[in-house]
Amino acid sequence: MKMLINVPESVVADALRGMAAAHPELTVDVENRLIVRRDAPVAGKVALISGGGSGHEPLHGGFVGPGMLSAACPGEVFTSPVPDQMARAAAAVDSGAGVLFIVKNYTGDVLNFDMAAELAEDEGIQVGKVLVNDDVAVTDSLYTAGRRGVGGTLFVEKIAGAAADEGQPLERVEAIGRQVNENSRSFGVALSACTTPDKGSPTFDLPSGELELGIGIHGEPGRERRAMMTSGEIAEFAVNAILEDMPPRNPVLVLVNGMGATPLLELYGFNAEVQRVLSQRGVAVARTLVGNYVTSLDMAGASVTLCQIDEELLRLWDAPVKTPGLRWGM
């Protein structure tokens, strides 16, 4: 496989150096693997910290900035960051109002963030946590006990980030983050495998005439493998899987997310089918976001995330945000 890299061992460091050059509004510590708002700590504001393995960009480093995260901790490709990274991040951004860890439900992430919370609390930092587990495809997987954290992570980071920017206290920001997670469900599909830099070849075998329904963002197996389906058929399968798990009550936020190699032409067409299915099921759509936000390197495919919202959550979603990967209202 051809890749735009130097050597596999420096992929993450090289990307961080490039990010620093492109975004002077961020402080990027290449050696310690930290991405921090340059104006942090912000007096009186709860700080939000997230992180995970690299390869899912713009998640998480691309969501650092006003209205979202205070800091992000990138690990190696598909590998959890270490506790010392999160503890350093907490020390860098805590203003005395506490920090909220937003953690995708993968075993390594959960264990390391829990250890980081202990380290931070030993230094007198108040820590809250939101565990994101929005994937309805499978209960357990190669990396997870319970449901995986995927596209709902963006909704949690954006809405909780807006609450923090308003000056709401840690307990309230944490409660809002948990509410968003509880109201979010996702389902993904892979049209091709992803390729990690160290391996240099597809991480699993997916024949050209087949697709994997319910795939994870690391290439974990899904529910089943089928012959290739149309965009409309995939939309019906994904949306129905979500609504079977979360019967519609309120209007929803919709995220149609690309896995990294699917062009916007296809994603917008897929969104049209998702909207058609939601309309047929009587689900009101409040807002829609389409693009590559929670990716899996060069995997072709897409995921659908729905989040049921009320007036407060919609107000927080619409609040201004200014990050490399998401921005409006500023």
Catalytic residue numbers read 56, 218
User: Which residues, other chains included, contact 261 with Cβ-Cβ below 8 Å and sequence gap of 6+?
Assistant: 192, 298, 299, 300, 301
Q: Concatenated DSSP letters for 276-320?
A: HHHHHTT--EEEEEEE-SS--TTB-EEEEEEEE--HHHHHHHHS-
How many residues in the chain?
A: 330
Token pair 């499978």 in the structure block, residue:
138
Tokens of 39: 């104006």
Query: 147's torsion region: left (phi>0), alpha (psi -120 to 50) or beta?
Result: beta
3-state secondary structure (DSSP) of residue 50: strand
- Count of Cβ atoms closer than 10 Å to residue 120 Cβ: 24
Q: Please, what sign has the CA dihedral across residues 103, 108, 113, 118?
A: positive
Of 195, 65, 66, 56, residue with least CA distance to 132: 56
Distance separating alpha carbons of residues 183 and 246, to the nearest angstrom: 8
User: Which residues, other chains included, contact 298 with Cβ-Cβ below 8 Å and sequence gap of 6+?
Assistant: 192, 194, 195, 260, 261
